């Protein structure tokens, strides 16, 4: 049961609305800020432009240029300038995902397993591990819901309460399958609307 629950959590995390989940694009050690550090190191904003919408480029470029000028003072001034650039970039990126900006998460903030798994398969160049996890999660969760519903179907005519219990499970089962199918078919199921 514990294995089924953990797979179900992984599956739900992969297909639920990510606005309120464990996004790591707003982490100080996440990929957006990593690219921001590269941009500062190279004095070139190009590496971060992919994270924002075209209409936000002017605002980010202005902050970047000011950041690079202020950084010359060194010390805490440079750190503050970097932080402003990071926050502006992440805020604009989150806006491009129709997601709220709630500040930068500190280094070491935990991320959801699906994020780590997604990053790992992208690093390896093969989606096999992710597909295997998803198949196991889907199989386990559908099997569990099916068994519960089928067991109640066998007793649905015994009493009105048994019939209602079956209908409740039936509706839940069918909606669950519909949710999975629609999530898989939808281009925006896992990512924010742009």
Contact by Cβ (8 Å): 93, 51: yes
What local confidence, expressed as pLDDT, does residue 17 receive? 40
Distance CA 160, CA 50 (A): 58
Chain position carrying tokens 């990593």: 34
Q: What is the mean pLDDT of residues 58-64?
A: 98
Strand partners, 27: 105
| Per-residue tokens: 4 | 């089924």
The per-residue DSSP string of 33-102 comes to HHHHHHHHHHT-SHHHHTTS-GGGHHHHHHHHHHHHHHHTT-HHHHHHHHHHHHHHHHHHHHHHTT----
What local confidence, expressed as pLDDT, does residue 118 receive? 87
State the number of CA atoms in the 13 A half-sphere of 83 facing the CB: 10
What local confidence, expressed as pLDDT, does residue 190 receive? 46
Phi, psi angle pair for 113, to nearest 5°: -60, -35
Q: pLDDT digits over 80-113, tens only? A: 999 999 999 999 999 999 999 999 999 888 888 8
Helix (H, G, I), strand (E, B) or coil at 112: coil
| Per-residue tokens: 53 | 């919408």
CA-only gyration radius of the chain, Å: 23
Helix (H, G, I), strand (E, B) or coil at 165: helix
What local confidence, expressed as pLDDT, does residue 111 receive? 82
Q: pLDDT digits over 118-138, tens only? A: 888 988 999 999 899 889 989
Chain position carrying tokens 């514990």: 2
| Per-residue tokens: 1 | 């049961």
What local confidence, expressed as pLDDT, does residue 15 receive? 45
Q: pLDDT digits over 3-13, tens only? A: 444 444 445 44
Question: The pTM is what?
Answer: 0.66
The DSSP symbol for 158 reads: T
Alpha-carbon 188 to chain mean position: 12
């Amino acid at each position: 049961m514990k294995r089924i629950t953990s797979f179900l959590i992984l599956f739900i995390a992969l297909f639920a609305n990510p606005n309120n989940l464990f996004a790591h694009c707003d982490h100080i050690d996440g990929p957006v800020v990593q690219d921001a550090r590269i941009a500062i190191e190279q004095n070139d904003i190009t590496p971060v432009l992919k994270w924002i919408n075209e209409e936000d480029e002017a605002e980010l470029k202005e902050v970047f240029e000011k950041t690079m000028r202020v950084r010359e003072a060194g010390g805490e001034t440079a750190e503050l300038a970097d932080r402003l650039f990071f926050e502006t970039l992440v805020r604009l990126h989150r806006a491009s995902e129709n997601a709220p900006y709630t500040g930068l998460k500190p280094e070491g903030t935990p991320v959801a397993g699906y994020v780590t798994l997604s990053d790992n398969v992208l690093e390896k160049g093969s989606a096999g591990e992710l597909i295997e996890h998803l198949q196991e999660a889907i199989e386990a969760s559908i099997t569990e819901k099916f068994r519960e519903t089928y067991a109640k179907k066998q007793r649905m005519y015994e009493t009105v309460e048994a019939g209602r219990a079956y209908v409740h499970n039936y509706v839940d089962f069918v909606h669950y399958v519909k949710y999975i199918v629609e999530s898989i078919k939808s281009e925006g199921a896992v990512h924010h609307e742009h």
